[in-house]
């Protein structure tokens, strides 16, 4: 019988996929951010704002796609019901 010991990781021990990408792009930048240094740049602030804007666009796009699917399925259902009524009139 083997017993498994569950290991808990501290947040600073876990490396995310985006951190791996950042390390690949610039190891020094990754290291400095891990040490708590945050870069200050006008371009970085603009990039953050653009990400927020794109996030909102993606949210509303997904919401609109869901509404479109519901409306399409509703239309198909109504068409199916209309065909059933039409066929029942022809048969009778």
Position 4 pLDDT exceeds 70: no
Q: pTM score > 0.85 for this model?
A: no
In 3D space, the residue among 34, 1, 38, 36 whose CA is nearest the CA of residue 18 turns out to be: 34
52 & 18 share domain = no
- What's the mean per-residue pLDDT of the chain? 86
Q: Structure tokens of 34?
A: 């891990």
pLDDT per residue as tens digits for the range 55-75: 999 999 999 999 999 999 999
69 & 28 share domain = no
Give the structural domain span for 71.
42-92
Q: Token match 């048969």: residue?
A: 91
73 & 31 share domain = no
Task: Report how many domains make up the chain.
Answer: 2
Q: Structure tokens of 3?
A: 């017993």
Q: Say if 31 falls within a structural domain.
A: yes
**38 confidence band (pLDDT: 50, 70, 90):** confident
Q: Structure tokens of 80?
A: 């199916």
Among 18-22, 37-41, 61-65, the minimum mean pLDDT is found in: 37-41
Q: Say if 3 falls within a structural domain.
A: no
Does residue 12 contact residue 34 with C-beta atoms inside 8 Å?
A: yes
Higher-pLDDT residue of 75 and 9 is 75
Predicted confidence at residue 12, as pLDDT, reads 65
In 3D space, the residue among 41, 42, 51 whose CA is nearest the CA of residue 18 turns out to be: 51
How far apart CA 29 and CA 31 sit, in angstroms, is 5
31 & 47 share domain = no
DSSP letter for 36, please: T
Phi, psi (deg, nearest 5) at residue 68: -60, -40
């Amino acid at each position: 019988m083997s017993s498994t010991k569950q290991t808990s990781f501290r947040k600073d021990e876990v490396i995310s996929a985006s951190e791996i990408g950042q390390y690949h792009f610039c190891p020094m930048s990754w290291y400095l951010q891990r040490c708590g240094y945050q870069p200050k740049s006008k371009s970085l602030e603009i990039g953050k704002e653009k990400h927020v804007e794109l996030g909102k666009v993606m949210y509303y796009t997904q919401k609109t796609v869901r509404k479109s699917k519901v409306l399409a399925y509703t239309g198909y259902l109504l068409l199916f019901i209309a065909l059933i009524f039409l066929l029942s009139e022809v048969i009778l």
